[in-house]
Chain A
């Protein structure tokens, strides 16, 4: 009697076993990545919950930072990140456009590319020292929001350049060639065809990279962030550019290591706010990307 059709041979059975194994291992790895993240966030929220409230966000710290809110640190972080974004985004994006669309492939551009890649690997404490030397001392900005933001901007430039180049490279070369054949200049090609199709990738890349700087402590510690500064509570324009400021990351470090008898929930609450701010920015980026992608045209 013939075996039924499609009955598996031993070879096929082995293949199926391999398939199941591969799927189990790969899914296990995803779980191994997701579980700690969920655990971390849950732990932070549970621990910090007693302190989290609207007034926690909008009032000054009191009693040697043991009570009250975190307003100056929250506002300081927003200032630092926004100014760093305003400086780094145009410079980085324009750099990347030049490198990707104009520069030829020669030893100089390869050297620049190598420099950019290496700059991305420089530890943040080194950037901090550079910022201290270049902006605080040499440029005479003093320890200030401006000096700290510029340091953050320098630190994010290489990653912004890298992500922007990636977004530009994703636009098919055939589009550029079609434009050149029509007598369009490089700039006309970039302006009308390359940029409209790369903009979603560029914007999200920039926003994601900049949001990471919100958590940086080292670069701002030397260049403009302070342990404590009292400002007008709830006033979004309470800082001037040449002021020093508090920052969430720095504040977290301070209350865990320098302040004795701080309530146990305080560092967790600060961490939740910092995390929430970063997640909010990232969510904006993702939302923006889906909106712009929907308009993508090929």
Chain B
């Protein structure tokens, strides 16, 4: 049996900000419809790795990278239409950023940028994405109020709805739960469970238990190097290959 080609393939990825190298040659693959958890202490390069996937690293001054990142087999560095790449790779930032627009316009922003003008299609898409993000029932009566007026947890679900609005095939979540309460976190985790049949998810998280709950495989990143990448049961089991993994997942260091 031929194994399906990986959704994301990273090869020997090195990233430096100015003279400081922060990723020291990462190689990994993510299969389609997989949830990959990425854990690791602050400053270990988790966000930088995500920024390479949709090439938003370009917006950071003095950032340079080498190695290849392939999405669906295509080298992202050679992608002509970088905006199409970013629509394919949805991104949810750590702090919820409601754009200073109405709830409706927040979700309709990306489709509009991609050229969708048809009102009925926009309406349908906004409803679908808000439903997927478990926000529809709370906001359906006030779609035309400002997105920035929502509570923190609602705004984070709004950003997830927004990230889904351009029909991504990959969804990257960068510590989405640091600004929201546990109840909302659990609701979003349920949402992600529901989306896994359709999407490939890269979940960066500070909460190791979150990776344990959701991820098929977990990557432990430390100081810009992969310490270990294995099935989640192994990483969180009694015998991961690296002792540091054991200590980190048990909270002995970090």
Contact = CB atoms under 8 A, between A and B. Distances in A.
A and B co-occur in one complex: yes
Interface of A: 104-105, 172, 174-185, 188, 192-193, 196-197, 296-298
A182 B148 contact: no
Interface stretch (B68-76, B87-95, B190-198, B217-225): B87-95
**Tier of interface size on chain B:** 20 to 34
Contacts of B162: 178, 182
Contact of A185 (B83, B101, B165): B83
A175 B109 contact: no
Contacts of A188: 113
A196 to B, nearest CB: 7
B113 A185 contact: yes
Contact of B146 (A175, A179, A185, A297): A297
A179 B166 contact: no
Contact of B99 (A104, A193, A296): A193
B93 A177 contact: yes
Contacts of B85: 183
B188 interface: no
A172 to B, nearest CB: 8
Given A182-B113, A183-B166, A296 B100 contact: yes
Given A172-B97, A180-B59, A192-B109, 18 more contacts: A105-B61, A174-B93, A175-B97, A175-B100, A177-B56, A177-B93, A181-B56, A181-B90, A181-B93, A181-B163, A182-B110, A183-B85, A183-B86, A183-B87, A184-B83, A184-B110, A193-B101, A298-B98
Nearest to B109: A182
A183 B56 contact: no
B59 A177 contact: yes
Nearest to A295: B100
B189 to A, nearest CB: 21
A183 B100 contact: no
A297 B101 contact: yes
B232 interface: no
A194 B242 CA distance: 47
B28 interface: no
B54 interface: yes
Contact of B148 (A184, A196, A298): A298
A105 B62 CA distance: 9
Nearest to A197: B100
Given A105-B61, A180-B56, A181-B86, A297 B100 contact: yes
A181 B61 contact: no
A172 B110 CA distance: 19
5 contacts: A175-B97, A178-B99, A182-B110, A193-B100, A297-B146
Interface in B118-154: 146, 148
A184 to B, nearest CB: 4
B113 A183 contact: yes
B84 to A, nearest CB: 7
A66 to B, nearest CB: 58
